[in-house]
Structure 1
Amino acid sequence: MPSMNLDGIDRKILAALQADGRLSNVELAEHVGLSPSPCLRRVRLLEEAGIIDRYVALVDQRSVGLPVSVFISIKLERQQEEDLDRFEAEVSAYPEVLECYLMTGTQDYLLRVVVADLAAYERFLKTRLTRVENVAAIESSFALKQVKYTNVLPLELQTP
């Protein structure tokens, strides 16, 4: 994957696509002050460099019947590389796990899980998470309210 230095136009392109990934190339070019051909060339370079990873539709979890977000701290019995790899592979296969982070501190992993209700979480816990080898402790915290959620990176905070 080629590396790339981002200039102001690249940052404008990324900001515009983060706000609306369905912009046509003509709309995007107009928005960032380029003609369509150079704009498309820049977008393709951003894609090839892996800076634009993919295009997705963001779905409201409440609207599809998955209103419960659970943050789960996991402590492993052992933290050898193969143990970490095995844990990561297993939890990555669970569709309920939207995010999984290897952490510093007293816990090894932090997961964000979405489910329909407490009964669904109990099923997830009993049939999946407690059966993962090498898990020493599980601590769950339920989100009462989502105060902020964004997937838009603060590109304006970075210097060109």
Structure 2
Amino acid sequence: MKTGTLDLDRIDQSILAELQADAGLQNQTLAERVNLSPSACLKRVQRLRRAGVIREEVAILDAARVGFPVLVISRVSLRSTTREAIQAFERKVHALPQVLQCHCVAGDTDFVLVICARSLPEYQAFAQEQLGDALELENYSSDVVLSTTKFTTQLPLDRA
């Protein structure tokens, strides 16, 4: 599999699959799982980090258990889609910790946002202050997530 200018062989894919499942694996354990020496495994992981294939290693929290049971998907249309308008909106969104994801999309809207909140009234206040009163927005619509049947951050490397 080729990613940018980096060729990923089966061993790289195995390393990445293991780290996607558990980013906290010790190098020794990882090396055993992918049948490499610890030094060879470490060199590969470092190369994957330097190349930007491994962007970050994080703990994925249960949002509801830490006080954010409300998840909202919002579609946003900008009044103007000039480069400057898009960049200004992106800067604004990056500064909002409630916005977990922001995707620039093709279709009926310009952006799709995934937003977390502690309650529906908190989301409503956020939406009114950050979306409803924003001069740069043409309109927005939101859907409250009732339940999540699948959530993963693991890419299907074995199918690549």
The reply on whether 1:99 has 2:98 as its aligned counterpart is no
Partner of residue 79 from structure 1, selected from 78, 81, 86: 81
Q: Deviations over 1:2-32 (max 9, x none)?
A: 8310000000000000001111000000000
Q: CA RMSD in A?
A: 1.1
1:127 offset after TM fit, Å? 2.0
5+ long unaligned stretches in structure 2: none
Percent identity over paired residues = 39
TM-score between the two structures when normalised by the length of structure 2: 0.95
- Which stretch has the larger CA shift, 122-131 or 58-67? 122-131
The reply on whether 1:139 has 2:126 as its aligned counterpart is no
1:123 offset after TM fit, Å? 1.3
Partner of residue 18 from structure 1, selected from 10, 20, 43: 20
5+ long unaligned stretches in structure 1: none
Matched letter for residue 127 of structure 1: E
Q: CA–CA distance in 2 between the matches of 1:133 and 1:48? A: 40
C-alpha contact (below 8 Å) 1:90/1:132 kept by paired residues: no
Show the counterpart of 1:109. Answer: 111
1:133 offset after TM fit, Å? 3.2
1:126 offset after TM fit, Å? 1.9
Show the counterpart of 1:68. Answer: 70
Q: How many residues align?
A: 157
Show the counterpart of 2:131. Answer: 129
Q: CA–CA distance in 1 between the matches of 2:144 and 2:124? A: 13
Show the counterpart of 1:42. Answer: 44
Show the counterpart of 2:90. Answer: 88
Q: Deviations over 1:98-125 (max 9, x none)?
A: 0001111111110000101111001101
Q: CA–CA distance in 2 between the matches of 1:54 and 1:45? A: 14
1:95 offset after TM fit, Å? 0.4
SS in 1 for 2:6: coil
Q: CA–CA distance in 1 between the matches of 2:27 and 2:98? A: 35
TM-score between the two structures when normalised by the length of structure 1: 0.95
Q: CA–CA distance in 2 between the matches of 1:47 and 1:27? A: 18
Matched letter for residue 51 of structure 2: A
Matched letter for residue 5 of structure 1: D
Q: Deviations over 1:110-151 (max 9, x none)?
A: 000010111100110122222333101010111111010000
C-alpha contact (below 8 Å) 1:72/1:112 kept by paired residues: yes
Q: CA–CA distance in 1 between the matches of 2:51 and 2:31? A: 20
Matched letter for residue 151 of structure 1: T
Q: CA–CA distance in 1 between the matches of 2:14 and 2:83? A: 40
Q: CA–CA distance in 2 between the matches of 1:133 and 1:29? A: 53
- Which stretch has the larger CA shift, 132-141 or 8-17? 132-141
Q: CA–CA distance in 2 between the matches of 1:96 and 1:148? A: 21
